[in-house]
């Protein structure tokens, strides 16, 4: 009877150890699953950040191009004003020359 009790106690101890190992394995599997989810979330966040960086770069490049276009427009306007002033000066000179000829 003592041997039977000892054998039963040993069997119970083994069963408890197996259950504990299964529980440890399940806990480890759950941790691995959580880590995988965390890695996936981190990868998604990194991709989103990269997309934002690309978008911000595109916006910055667009703003830079807009500034360049505005500068070119100002230069074109300045050139057009200078040409108009030159043309007006030539007309004035022509009118003055015509007046001189008329006086002769």
Q: What is the reported pLDDT for 62?
A: 93
Token duo for residue 82: 């200078």
Q: What is the reported pLDDT for 101?
A: 85
pLDDT in tens, 31-48: 999 999 999 999 999 999
Is the pTM for the entire model greater than 0.85?
Answer: no
Among 55, 33, 56, 65, smallest CA distance to 41 is for 33
pLDDT in tens, 58-97: 999 999 999 999 999 999 999 999 999 999 999 989 988 8
DSSP 66: H
Q: State how far the Cα of 37 lies from the Cα of 32, in Å rounded to an integer.
A: 9
């Amino acid at each position: 009877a003592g041997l039977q009790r000892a054998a039963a106690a040993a069997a119970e101890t083994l069963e408890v150890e197996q259950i504990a190992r299964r529980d440890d394995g399940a806990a480890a599997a759950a941790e691995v699953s959580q880590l995988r989810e965390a890695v996936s979330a981190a990868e998604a966040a990194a991709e989103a950040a990269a997309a934002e960086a690309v978008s911000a770069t595109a916006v910055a490049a667009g703003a830079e191009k807009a500034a360049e276009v505005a500068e070119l427009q100002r230069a074109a306007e300045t050139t057009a004003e200078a040409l108009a002033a030159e043309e007006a000066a030539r007309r004035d000179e022509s009118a003055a020359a015509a007046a001189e000829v008329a006086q002769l």
